[in-house]
Amino acid sequence: MTIAFADAAPAAERPAAPALDGLPLTVGLSAREVLVVGAGPVSVRRAETFLEAGAVVRVVAPRVDPAMADLAARAGAQLVVVARNFRASDLDTPWMVHVATGDPEVDAEVAALCEQRRIWCVAAGDAALGSVRVPARTAVATPAGLVRIAVDSSDPRRSVRVGRHVARSLATAPAGLRARRRPEAGWLVLVGGCGDGDLLTVRARRFIHAADVLVVDGAADPGLLAEIDDDVEVIEVGSTLPADAVARVVAARCAAGHGVVRIVAADTLADRARDLRATGLEFEIVPGVIDGGA
C-alpha cells in the first residue's frame, strides 16, 4: 500500500491562468470612516454596504437622494450627511472613499486627490479611476460555518450571477465536512467511475471534494486527483492488496472522524460494496457510469 498526496497537473497540461489586474482583499472597516462623495442611488447602495461592514460613513453631496436621507435617519450617528460640494479637506480623516457624483470631472478630481494621499478609492462611474473595486457579494451557510463569496469581473451583473451560482452549489453540496474532524463525524461513501473522471456524477464529485481521505484504485483518473485540495490524503491501493486490508484502512480513517470516499471503476462497484459490507461499515453508494465503448 502506498500513501500519496495528489499533485497538480504538470504546467504543460494546464491552461495558462489569465493575468489578474488586482489583489482580492477583505478590508476591515469596523469603526473606521468611509467618505461617500455623491448621494444618488449608487451611493445609497454602497453606503448600506459600508454600514453593514461596521464603518462610520460620512456623505458629502450638494443634493441628497431621499433614500440616502432615510438611510441616515435609520443609521443614526453611524452615518452623517453633509449637504455641500466636495472639498479637498474632506479627505483629511477617511480610510476609504467612494465617489459617484454623476459628474466625470468631479469623480476624476476626487480619485486623483485620493491617489496623491494614498487613500483607497472606489470610483463607481469609472472603475479605472479608482484604486479598489467593490465586488458582488453573497454568503452561504455550510456545516463548517458561514462562507462569504466575493466575485469581481468586468461586468457587475455577471459577477452577481456567478456569485449566486457558487452559493447555490455550496448550499447543495456536502461542503464543509472536512472541517468537522470529530470521532462521531466520520462517514464513508463508495463511488463508481474511478477510471475516467468524465464518468463521475455530480453527486460523486461533491462527495469527493468534501472528503478528508480518498481511497482509490491504481486506475484513478490523474485529472480527478488534481482537482482536490492539497491537504486531502490520497491512499492508492493496487489490485494485489487484499480486500480485507483495504477495508481495515477505510475503517480506521472513519473511526478517526474523517470523511472517506472509496472510488473504484464503475464495473467493479458491486464487488467493492460486498467487500465493505463484510466489515459491518455503514456507507452510501454513489454509482458511476459504465463506458459502453470501453
Q: Is the confidence at residue 212, as pLDDT, over 80?
A: yes
Give the DSSP letter string of 94-122. -SEEEE--S-HHHHHHHHHHHHHHT-EEE
Whether 68 contacts 59, CB under 8 Å:
yes
Please indicate, yes or no, whether residues 197 and 267 belong to a single structural domain of this protein: yes
Domain boundary among 116, 149, 172: 172
Give me the percent of the chain exceeding a pLDDT of 90: 37
Phi, psi for 21 (deg, rounded to 5): -95, 15
Same domain, 238 and 273: yes
CA distance 93 to 33: 7
Boundary-marking domain end, from 134, 163, 197: 134
The range of the structural domain enclosing residue 144 comes to 137-172
Residue 293 lies in a domain: no
DSSP state, 265? -
pLDDT digits (tens, 9 = 90+) for 53-108: 999 999 999 999 999 999 999 999 999 999 999 999 999 999 999 999 999 999 99
User: For 119-123, 166-170, 261-265, which range has the lowest pLDDT when averaged over its residues?
Assistant: 166-170
**207 neighbors 194 (Cβ within 8 angstroms):** no
Mean pLDDT of 156-181: 69
Q: Do 63 and 76 share a domain, yes or no?
A: yes
Give yes or no: residues 103 and 82 share one domain.
yes
Q: Does residue 182 form part of some domain?
A: no
DSSP result, 59-72 = EE-SS--HHHHHHH
Q: Are 260 and 252 in contact (CB under 8 A)?
A: no
Q: Are residue 50 and residue 102 in the same domain, yes or no?
A: yes
Q: What is the CATH number of the domain that holds 264?
A: 3.40.1010.10
Helix (H) or strand (E) run with residue 8 in it: none
Q: What is the DSSP string of 142-173?
A: ETTEEEEEEE--S-HHHHHHHHHHHHHHHHHT
Decide if 11 is inside a domain.
Answer: no
pLDDT at 220: 65
Does residue 126 sit in the same domain as residue 51? Answer: yes
Q: Looking at the domain assignment, is residue 204 inside a domain? A: yes
pLDDT exceeds cutoff 70 at 178: no
CA dist 84 and 293 (Å) reads 74
**CA-based end-to-end distance of the chain:** 28
Please compute the mean of the pLDDT values over residues 168-173 and round it to a whole number.
66
Number of domains within the chain: 3
Q: Tell me: do 111 and 64 sit in the same domain.
A: yes
16 assigned to some structural domain: no
| Whole-number pLDDT of residue 68 | 96
Q: Are residues 45 and 124 in the same domain?
A: yes
Q: How far is 139 from 146, CA to CA, in rounded Å? A: 7
Half-sphere exposure of 134 (CA within 13 A, CB side): 22
Q: Tell me, yes or no, whether 262 lies in a domain.
A: yes
Model confidence at 3: pLDDT above 60: no
pLDDT, average across residues 102-128: 95
> Are residues 49 and 107 both part of a single domain?
yes
- Residues with Cβ within 8 Å of 109's Cβ and at least 6 positions away in sequence, in order, are 86
Query: Tens digit of pLDDT for each residue in 15-52?
Result: 454 555 678 888 999 999 999 999 999 999 999 999 99
Average pLDDT, the chain: 81
Query: Is residue 151 one of the residues assigned to a domain?
Result: yes
Q: Residue 239 — very low, low, confident or very high, per pLDDT cuts 50/70/90?
A: low
Identify which has the larger pLDDT, 8 or 243: 243
Say whether both 272 and 206 belong to one domain: yes
225 and 148, same structural domain? Answer: no
In a domain, 216, yes or no: yes
| Dist. CA 47–CA 68, nearest whole Å | 8
Are 130 and 157 found together in one domain? no
Residue 239 vs residue 99, higher pLDDT? 99
Q: Across residues 154-159, what is the average pLDDT? A: 82
